[in-house]
Amino acid sequence: MFPCDQCRRSFNRPSHLNRHRMTHLPSSRRRVVTCTYCERTFSRQDVLLRHLRATHDVIRDTSVSNQKSCHRCVRHKLRCDREQPCGSCHTAKSTDPCSYPSSAEPGTPSRTLRAPGGSSFSTPSVRRDSERCVRFANHSVVDSRDAFGPCPPAANEGSHIGQQHIDPLDMDAADFSPVFESDGFNTILQPFEVDGWIDFRGSGLDWLDFDVSSIDFDLSGDHSGDADATMASPAADSTNPPAIHSVAAPSTALPRQNVLPWPFEQGQDAQTPRFPLPRLHQILPQPPPGTQPSTVDSLLRLLSCQQIPHLNELTNTNMSPGLELLRRLTDVYFSGFQIVQSIVHAPTWNVADCPTVLLAAMACIGSALSDESDVTELSNSLGDFCGSMITWLGVTDNSSYSDVSYLAALCLHQIYSLGSGNRQLYQNADRTRGVLIGSLRGLGLLSSRISNLQQSATEDAGPTTNDPRELHAEWLAWVACERDRRVAWASFEYDCSLCTLTNRRGAVDLSELPARLPCSDSLWDAQSANAWAALKSRAPSRGQGAMLSGVLGLIISGRPLVEHVSMWGKRLCAQIIGRLLWDLKQLEKLSTPEYCGLPSLFKSHQQSKVSLLRGLDSLLTLMTEPASTSDLISYNISSLLCHYSHMYASDDIMDIIIFIIRNVVSKGPSCDERLDMARQRLTSGFQSDPKRARKLLWHAGQIVAVATEYLVSAPCEIMRLFKAYVFILAYAKYSGYPAEHCNGVKVRLDVPSRHADQEKAVAKYIQHGGQAQIGTAQDVLSRASTANITKDAHVMFQRLHSWGLAEKFAKILQCFENFEE
């Protein structure tokens, strides 16, 4: 490895290191290449060529052929005198014409022209490109099934699909990029039976794909509305795509072939020549002359540009209302979501310099969290637009996958999609997760353990200069490096959320996580370079964040931490431990006869699960004194994760409950032998070990207590809160009325157990039983408790109305409560 002496990055080749060192030079010393069309400057020739293709539709042929002989002499390996015709062809009296390669000079630009009928051809200035253009002549420039190769070759030849034009804002991402590979979504997994008995460990449920939109509370709704509506695309008569929302993408499922390279393999393999798509703002419909565009239209037109235009341009194009709306949405983002996932550096952020794709993703989350009625109504439209915009940019320019701002926008939009409750948005987010994770791997932000060890060996000595300009440049370089690391960690946390919500394995391997945790929040939030330098000089070790491996080892062993770890860093450690518990649970499921038929792994994992759960408990004790709202959010998320992990790791109690719920909600109150068996087994589980059942009830009550104290508005936390209420309802329905219920103590389980008296009362209740109160249910085992528990849950979910996922869970909970055995 060849480390950079200016920063902490290292490279495999000296040429890569030399190219990287140019980024540290001042602008006056850099060698730049200027674009002759827009006067933008670039440090590399290949970046300029990519810019010309993507922005100006200009293709420069850089290859130079050294062939001087005619094609027949080359083919037969004959000596050619380079005449017309040559002597060899004249002597042989060949019927093949004596032709030579084109003599066009290399580097001559050829602009791709589009004929009125949708066909494309090259200008005569580059004759060698004419042949490769012919095979595309009958296909549309923006046709998803030709330009990006999802159709098999036989389907492309002679078909008229290429004459259809696709609305880029109404398209499905699965039809436009080979990395969006559509999987069949199994809404309800079949339970598996062993000798007439049901094994519930394999009965996990994808909550996001579990459609309840057509289910009423009385279970009288029509369940047939789950199929996706399809619309045929009309034949196009012009080269430009039609207006927004006019055409839907074709829904025919055809096999897709990968034509785009992986983001980190750009330039290594020769790419098939293809026609560039136009910029997004070029295909938006223009408002009629003399009319005032609506605020939403001006916002969408504003976001379709690469950068926010200057103020005078906004005045001339009547986009000022869109800019004002954008500022309101980004203000909501910073006030409501920045403290949850701090990946945007607020001190150096401004609207003018921020890429519009990142602004669109921030506006999506801002619209979801906003309390303004006129803003919440456009949330779905903005989410659809942002998803199409991300797809459009990724398809038109592969270099987007190497842009951390683009990946940050992709991560934020996928978080929005998870909580939106929109099934189509969720499915697109599930498909694009591979794009996000693969791009981070390509940039080295997620890498192998060996690379992590090499990166962790470098230490940051703090600021190295007192010159204001150099100090500011050093601060910006540090911000960029820390921002990259934070985007990687945020993507991992999103991956954990998707793993929890869908019951599918995460895409990020724990061994490729960044070697260091995020830095301290005080350093990240420093308002100036001088403040950053002063804070960093007092604690140089905080500038890089703590080492992940050392912190995890101390937490799991229960020993105190020896270096500073931010609250977000502790929360990430909780996510990692929760992911390890999830992996152990999956191994236990795979050992069942339905899968691999291995001997049971449950007992062999018991000690590991106990150690991990104790590590979570000890980690939680280190976070009990939050100093800010951001710290409080990290503490609450970690608390929910800790108590949920205790419930999740408890044999198959939660699996049986989920099995009952998915059958009740999907099939209604119909008689099912397996459903009766599940209820009997759940009742038997509660009654055979009442202490364990009461301990799990306390964990569910603590989730409610944490949410009641301070409710974190995040998709995965909504699901954990839902699981807590589900367990409380199941306990009230199926645990029976034990004899020790009347003789034991009375205790509230929905208050934090931070005081000694409360801890003693809870311990006594778990040991000897008694009456448990949660919310308005004075006694969980009383007959009227289920209605009160459901009412409390609805009140809690109403506070999370910003996310459509809360409404879905409220419906499921109501169905479960209404179900009578």
Q: What is the pLDDT of residue 488?
A: 96
Among 141-145, 231-235, 677-681, the range of highest mean pLDDT: 677-681
Q: What is the pLDDT of residue 195?
A: 41
Q: Is the pLDDT of residue 516 over 80?
A: yes
Q: Is the pLDDT of residue 766 over 80?
A: yes
Task: List 194's β-bridge partners, or say none.
Answer: 197
The pairing of beta strand 745-748 with beta strand 770-773? parallel
**Claim to verify: residue 614 and residue 692 sit in the same structural domain:** no
Q: What is the pLDDT of residue 27?
A: 64
**Claim to verify: residue 725 and residue 685 sit in the same structural domain:** yes
**Range in 186-190, 290-294, 551-555, 587-591 the model is least confident about:** 186-190
Going by pLDDT thresholds of 50, 70 and 90, the confidence category of residue 640 is very high
Higher-pLDDT residue of 201 and 171 is 201
**Range in 63-67, 226-230, 271-275, 481-485 the model is least confident about:** 226-230
**Claim to verify: residue 676 and residue 644 sit in the same structural domain:** no
Q: What is the pLDDT of residue 475?
A: 93
H or E segment and range at residue 804 = helix 804-818
**Claim to verify: residue 603 and residue 500 sit in the same structural domain:** yes
Q: Is the pLDDT of residue 85 over 90?
A: no
Instruction: Report the candidate in 342, 349, 414 with the shortest Cα–Cα distance to residue 572.
Output: 342
**Range in 8-12, 356-360, 489-493, 794-798 the model is least confident about:** 8-12
**SS3 assignment for 51-88:** HHHHHHCEEECCCCCCCCCCHHHHHHCCCCCCCCCCHH
Kindly report, residue by residue over 104-120, the tens digit of the pLDDT: 333 344 434 333 333 33
Task: Quote the tokens at residue 108.
Answer: 């001559």
C-alpha separations of 122 from 114, 273, 330 in Å: 9, 12, 44
**Claim to verify: residue 550 and residue 615 sit in the same structural domain:** yes
pLDDT > 90: percent of the chain: 25
CA distance 17 to 24: 11
> In this structure, what are the phi and psi dihedrals at residue 111, rounded to the nearest 5 degrees?
-95, 130
Q: Is the pLDDT of residue 242 over 70?
A: no
53 domain-assigned: no
The pairing of beta strand 120-122 with beta strand 109-114? antiparallel
Task: List 747's β-bridge partners, or say none.
Answer: 772
Q: Is the pLDDT of residue 194 over 90?
A: no
Higher-pLDDT residue of 544 and 415 is 415
**Range in 279-293, 327-341, 611-625, 763-777 the model is least confident about:** 279-293
Q: What is the pLDDT of residue 774?
A: 92
Task: Quote the tokens at residue 636.
Answer: 């609450």
Residue where one domain finishes, among candidates 628, 649, 670 = 649
Higher-pLDDT residue of 164 and 808 is 808
**Claim to verify: residue 601 and residue 662 sit in the same structural domain:** no
Kindly report, residue by residue over 343-387, the tens digit of the pLDDT: 999 999 988 889 989 999 999 999 888 888 777 668 878 888 888
Mean pLDDT of 705-718: 87
What's the start-to-end Cα distance of the chain, in Å? 66
Residue 317 belongs to domain spanning: 293-442
Q: What is the pLDDT of residue 705?
A: 94
Q: What is the pLDDT of residue 240?
A: 35
Q: Is the pLDDT of residue 530 over 50?
A: yes
71 domain-assigned: no
Q: What is the pLDDT of residue 648?
A: 85
CA distance 51 to 58: 9
**SS3 assignment for 733-798:** HHCCCCHHHCCCEEEECCCCCCCHHHHHHHHHHHHHCEEEEECCECCCCCCCHHHHHHHHHHHHHH
640 domain-assigned: yes
Q: What is the pLDDT of residue 60?
A: 64
11 domain-assigned: yes
**Claim to verify: residue 685 and residue 741 sit in the same structural domain:** yes
CA distance 529 to 345: 13
**Claim to verify: residue 344 and residue 417 sit in the same structural domain:** yes
Q: Is the pLDDT of residue 610 over 50?
A: yes
Cis upstream peptide for 85 (omega within 30°)? yes
Higher-pLDDT residue of 38 and 488 is 488
DSSP string, 340-352: TS--S-GGG--TT
Q: Where are the alpha helices (DSSP H) in 277-355?
A: 295-303, 311-316, 320-336
pTM, entire model: 0.67
C-alpha separations of 583 from 599, 605, 607, 609, 734 in Å: 17, 11, 15, 11, 29
Task: List 303's β-bridge partners, or say none.
Answer: none
Domain count of the chain? 4
**Claim to verify: residue 620 and residue 659 sit in the same structural domain:** no
Q: Is the pLDDT of residue 217 over 60?
A: no
**Claim to verify: residue 677 and residue 736 sit in the same structural domain:** yes
Angle at 250 between CA 242 and CA 435, to 5 degrees: 95
Higher-pLDDT residue of 239 and 619 is 619
522 domain-assigned: yes
Task: List 516's β-bridge partners, or say none.
Answer: 547
604 domain-assigned: yes
Q: What is the pLDDT of residue 165?
A: 34
Q: What is the pLDDT of residue 477?
A: 93
CA distance 278 to 111: 13
162 domain-assigned: no
Q: What is the pLDDT of residue 190?
A: 34
Exposure string over 186-212, b if 16+ CB within 10 A, otherwise e: eeeeebeeeeeebbbbbbbbbbbbbeb
How many residues appear in the chain? 821
**Claim to verify: residue 575 and residue 700 sit in the same structural domain:** no
Mean pLDDT of 381-401: 83
Are 814 and 432 in contact, with CB atoms under 8 Å apart? no
Going by pLDDT thresholds of 50, 70 and 90, the confidence category of residue 15 is confident
SS3 assignment, position 394? helix
**Claim to verify: residue 680 and residue 723 sit in the same structural domain:** yes
**Range in 38-52, 56-70, 651-665 the model is least confident about:** 56-70
Mean pLDDT of the chain: 74
678 domain-assigned: yes
CA distance 545 to 7: 15
The pairing of beta strand 33-34 with beta strand 41-42? antiparallel
Instruction: Report the candidate in 6, 95, 11, 13 with the shortest Cα–Cα distance to residue 454.
Output: 11
HSE (CB half, 13 Å, CA atoms) of 444?
Answer: 12
